[in-house]
């Protein structure tokens, strides 16, 4: 591993995306949203009428789809996008239908193998802030920079509702934590931050303080 990788894992709606972006911007690192990659496959399956519960069919779709990783700069943030047939389905992957399908897709072992390979291939883009569920445990277990975000279920549900999304977070977390391959868990050596009563500035501030101290920047 040549570049620095900051792994930010945690539960749904624990502020991973907001904080990972704030940290990436502040340090000039490349932001990688691995959840978006799983969502892209879930969206693709729905498009192609592949049943997300049919693990074999999902694995076959993942073997065959034509994708490309691209590093894009927008509003001062460099981010990696996964394109399918040259298209980045930015809005489509946030629908309720995609959210419901994604934990099933993410539980397929062949899908996880494919995703982990792609996520490791992001490293040559530069120093990374990568958010997900298994970054510190599985994708870059060798990194020294691991954070795990969490907040109370009530607070996380309120955050999703404020974004206009009604979702059973407890059910999704349960599926993500109970799956056989790479379940959601606190990575060894990760700093756990429960941000139920914290703003994103406070949360990202804690992460940045620790990184800067350790990097001597």
CB of 173 to ligand DC, least distance (A): 8
> Nearer Cβ to ligand DC, position 39 or 81?
39
CA–CA separation, 111 vs 42, rounded Å? 11
> Nearer Cβ to ligand DC, position 6 or 102?
102
Binding site for ligand DC (CB under 6 A): 12, 34-35, 38-39, 102-103, 106, 132-134, 172, 176
> Nearer Cβ to ligand DC, position 35 or 141?
35
CA–CA separation, 32 vs 209, rounded Å? 21
CA–CA separation, 21 vs 131, rounded Å? 9
CB of 107 to ligand DC, least distance (A): 8
Distances from the Cα of 135 to the Cα of 32, 131, 141, 159, angstroms: 11, 7, 7, 23
Q: What's the token pair of residue 30?
A: 């490349």
> Nearer Cβ to ligand DC, position 78 or 119?
119
> Nearer Cβ to ligand DC, position 3 or 118?
118
CB of 217 to ligand DC, least distance (A): 27
CB of 167 to ligand DC, least distance (A): 9
Phi, psi dihedral angles at 201 (to 5 degrees): -65, -40
CB of 216 to ligand DC, least distance (A): 29
Backbone Cα Rg of the chain: 16
Surface-to-core class of residue 74, CB atoms within 10 Å of its CB (0-12 exposed, 13-18 middle, 19+ buried): exposed
């Amino acid at each position: 591993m040549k570049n620095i990788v900051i792994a930010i894992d945690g539960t749904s709606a624990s502020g991973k995306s907001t904080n990972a972006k704030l940290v990436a911007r502040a340090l000039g690192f490349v932001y990688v949203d691995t959840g978006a990659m799983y969502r892209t496959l879930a969206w693709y399956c729905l498009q192609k009428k592949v049943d997300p519960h049919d693990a074999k069919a999902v694995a076959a779709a993942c073997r065959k789809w034509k994708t490309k990783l691209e590093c894009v700069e927008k509003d001062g943030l460099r981010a990696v996008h996964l394109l399918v047939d040259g298209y980045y389905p930015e809005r489509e992957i946030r629908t309720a239908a995609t959210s419901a399908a994604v934990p099933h897709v993410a539980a397929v072992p062949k899908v996880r193998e494919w995703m982990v390979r792609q996520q490791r291939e992001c490293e040559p883009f530069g120093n990374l802030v990568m958010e997900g569920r298994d970054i510190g445990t599985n994708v870059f277990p060798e990194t020294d920079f691991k954070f795990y975000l969490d907040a109370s279920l009530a607070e996380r549900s309120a955050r999703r509702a404020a974004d206009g999304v009604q979702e059973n977070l407890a059910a999704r977390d349960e599926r993500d934590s109970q799956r056989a391959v790479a379940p959601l868990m606190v990575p060894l050596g990760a700093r756990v931050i429960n941000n139920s009563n914290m703003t994103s500035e406070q949360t990202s501030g804690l992460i940045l303080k620790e990184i800067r101290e350790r990097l001597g920047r």
